[in-house]
Structure 1
Amino acid sequence: MAEVQERMNPAHSFPLIVHGLPYTTLIPRHLKESLASKNPYILISGSLARNTSTLVHLTAALHASNLFIAGVRQGMTPHTLYSEVLAVASDVRQSNADSILVVGGGSLVDAAKAIVFALANGADTMDALAELLETSNAIRTGKVKDVTQKPSVIPIMCATTTLSGGEFNPHGGATDDRTKLKQLFSDPKMEGHKVIVCDPALTLTAPMRVWLSTGLRAVDHCVETICSSAPKKEGTEAALRGLKRLIPNLLRTKADPKDERARLESQLGSMESMRPFVVYGVPVGGSHGIGHQIGPMGVPHAETTCVALPAVLKFNKRVSAERQNIVAEALWGEETARRVFEKYNLDKEKADLGDLLDAIIRELGFPRTLKTYGIGRDKLDAIAENALKDHLCQMNVIPLTEKEQVLEILEMCIGDDD
């Protein structure tokens, strides 16, 4: 085997995606060569640290390469709480770490981005962090101009164990413990993680539910960018490549969890799913915006896609049917997906894209309703109000600017799960 290197954007040195060799080889190599790091701080999944020997093997590999571990944090609460970002930032500051190494995915990936941004700007209280992230989002969306925010200095590397794709994205999200509002943010340099290590053997440690649901999150990226308010040819082509890697290989992994080739293809599909947004500036939309707000109510981050995406597609179909048909044709052309559609008795001429994705989601074993997660109609008003504050709802192909629009979508999500 040999190392393979790919760049998210061929015009930029970072993020650099590396695979083909074990994580115990690639991580020390790129900490030293790509990040010039000697003292990494490890942010690792709690279950990975407790239930596997990953941290032991990684520690040995780093020590063998004369790298000193500045500190270790095992696990974080889903949706990246401000309080935990501040706690880890304080630990990193005191440790004199010169990089952060994330081993895991999801909330850890976003946490690392928030931590280094907070450190660069001296945000060490809940109020200061809230102001920093809110201002960052206002700058990103063009609502204000500000030249006082400082870019992150400490570089980040990720050895990913999930498929959500946050490691490829310079933007992040963190949740205010006090309001449950999930706030998007990005630092001025828009860098995010600099090196992403893909080792399918490492992903075997991820719970199957997490692996498959985060894969569906990557599918969401593909679908929403193809059907977006501002699609681009290059973005559509990348998203279709992502779909063709993701859906067949997620189904293969469900059938054979130890299929490492299917897992690597899924990882590369996740990378492709982020290209439209990160490289070509194609926006995602309502599924992400609403998903950000149903998550803190009790839905695991990636599983918000399982509930929200089909409903948002049905809501949007009145203006995006032609774009949705591009995705539907691609899915019918994939044999493994077609077998699922036939199993669920879907008619190619009658089933819309929401129906097709509903079948895929069910086949992968996920619930489809808010009710399944204990969220009733009494929570819908609060979800809708928070969703309207999420810029991605405004970027939906039908801009979601009124509570009634969001409630219409949420009503499709609430029902009885069969």
Structure 2
Amino acid sequence: MENFTLREPRYRFTGHERVLHDVSAANALPGLLSLFGYERVFLVCSRSINTKTTIVEELSACLGSRLVGLTDEVGEHSPLSNVLKAARHARDVRADVIVAVGGGSVMDMCKAMQLCISEDAYDRDALLKLQFVLSEDGTEMLTTSRAAPRIRQIAIPTTLATSEWTPVSTPIDDETRLKARFVVPDGSPRAVIYDPAILGQTPSRLLLSTGIRGLDHAINTACSSSPHPFASLLAEKAIQLYMENLPLLRGRASREALMNCQLATWYTGMGQMSVPHGFSHWMVHIVGPYGGIAHSDAACVLMLAQARWLDGWAEPQHSRLRAALGQPDRPFHEILRELLIRLEMPMTLDDLGLSRQRVEAMMRPALEHPMVTLNNLRPIRTEEDLRAILELAWKA
């Protein structure tokens, strides 16, 4: 028998026990808590969700005495200082579950909180010692935590970027402005509640940009350097759903369009941890904190640049995607460019408000990042390669 290597196709199940689709979160949450035996809820949400919507008020009413703590101190990219403060708060109120209401920053924070509580790591240095390592062949992120998980989360997503589907957490280190990198044991939510009415309260601009981030995840899965047939099948369906439904989210979105976009995140999430992703997925972790740019906005620009970079190098993959989208004769990057124009999303680094000098300062961190230069279908190994693909990100 041949030896198994991590580059062989493999499927990685991320541990969700329930996914509820097209339901009211306020109606569904109490039943889930009873099913799992949870009695003490710590709720984490963004400041805008807490102050500009009725979501927290409705969830608080359905939770009643089960709600023992709440924080909306998350912040963009979930700074470690906020993670540690919230973890201590959840510990002190003896929470037995975290309920995450929000997008990527909220869920990143909750996963990192789980790691703090499981490892008794309540200061910066102790937490940073738990960053992930790479598998021997560089295709998979592996946890360094060995403690038994003490707490899980239930996720109620308000965006479309798929953070609810991974155990990976990348909060920003306040001191260095670099992303910390954790793979949290049982870090994926135990349950996900997809409520289209809650999604519909998210501002349209944010909904669209996070949808592009989800689309970028799906494209990276479909065009992976080590693909898996099941993951590719799911990704191709997700790409169809995103492309068809994201334009319908502009203005007052229909319930059907919201539901279809949530299905797209579900399909994307079910496969994205099974295969290594390339440049556009990881470069946002540099452009975001160094440029003060939201991940989802950076994803718009880098997704397009990567599609141009792979033109002619990913022909079988792009051919399948073009056919699935009913545009077999157009370059894939042109299809993506047209979508970004329709959605009025950024297409260039200049659109993000970045100068060439500022992007130049990102070169070294990008080259030193453990994933930016790995697992690209068209290799990105040298500074010259990195400059070449970033040059495509200046092109409208």
Letter paired with 2:85: A
Given that 1:284 and 1:392 are in contact with CA atoms closer than 8 Å, whether structure 2 keeps it comes out as no
Any unmatched runs of 5+ in structure 2? 1-10
Match of 2:256 in 1: 261
In 1, Cα distance between the equivalents of 2:374 and 2:348? 23
TM-aligned CA distance change 1:225 to 1:398, over 3 Å:
same
Given that 2:304 and 2:347 are in contact with CA atoms closer than 8 Å, whether structure 1 keeps it comes out as no
**Residue-by-residue CA offset, 1:368-410 (whole Å, 9 max, x unaligned):** 1222222111122332222231425412223433222222222
**Residue-by-residue CA offset, 1:53-79 (whole Å, 9 max, x unaligned):** 21111111111xxx4212111142211
In 2, Cα distance between the equivalents of 1:328 and 1:270? 20
SS in 1 for 2:133: helix
Any unmatched runs of 5+ in structure 1? 1-8, 334-347
1:92 and 2:85 aligned: no
Match of 2:387 in 1: 407
TM-aligned CA distance change 1:146 to 1:130, over 3 Å:
closer
Match of 2:320 in 1: 326
Match of 2:275 in 1: 282
TM-aligned CA distance change 1:185 to 1:139, over 3 Å:
farther
Match of 2:332 in 1: 353
Given that 2:15 and 2:186 are in contact with CA atoms closer than 8 Å, whether structure 1 keeps it comes out as no
Which structure 2 residues correspond to residues 135-150 of structure 1 after superposition, within 5 A?
136-138=132-134, 149-150=146-147
Residue of 282, 287, 290 corresponding to 1:294: 287
TM-aligned CA distance change 1:146 to 1:194, over 3 Å:
closer
SS in 2 for 1:55: helix
Match of 1:310 in 2: 304
- By relative contact order (CA 8 Å, sep 6+), the higher-ranking structure is 2
Q: How far is the alpha carbon of 1:203 from its aligned partner?
A: 1.1
Higher mean alpha-carbon deviation, 9-18 vs 194-203, is at 9-18
Given that 1:15 and 1:168 are in contact with CA atoms closer than 8 Å, whether structure 2 keeps it comes out as no
In 1, Cα distance between the equivalents of 2:391 and 2:17? 39
**Residue-by-residue CA offset, 1:37-68 (whole Å, 9 max, x unaligned):** 111100012111101221111111111xxx42
TM-aligned CA distance change 1:407 to 1:157, over 3 Å:
same
Which structure 2 residues correspond to residues 166-315 of structure 1 after superposition, within 5 A?
166-187=163-184, 189-254=185-250, 256-278=251-273, 281-296=274-289, 297-315=291-309
Given that 2:22 and 2:259 are in contact with CA atoms closer than 8 Å, whether structure 1 keeps it comes out as no
1:31 and 2:11 aligned: no
In 2, Cα distance between the equivalents of 1:289 and 1:10? 19
**Residue-by-residue CA offset, 1:3-39 (whole Å, 9 max, x unaligned):** xxxxxx99886242102331111111112213x2111
SS in 1 for 2:335: helix
Give me the identity figure in percent.
26
1:396 and 2:376 aligned: yes
In 2, Cα distance between the equivalents of 1:393 and 1:120? 32
Q: How far is the alpha carbon of 1:99 from its aligned partner?
A: 0.6
**Residue-by-residue CA offset, 1:95-127 (whole Å, 9 max, x unaligned):** 111110011111001110011112211222222
In 2, Cα distance between the equivalents of 1:148 and 1:103? 25
Letter paired with 1:357: L
TM-score by length of 2: 0.90
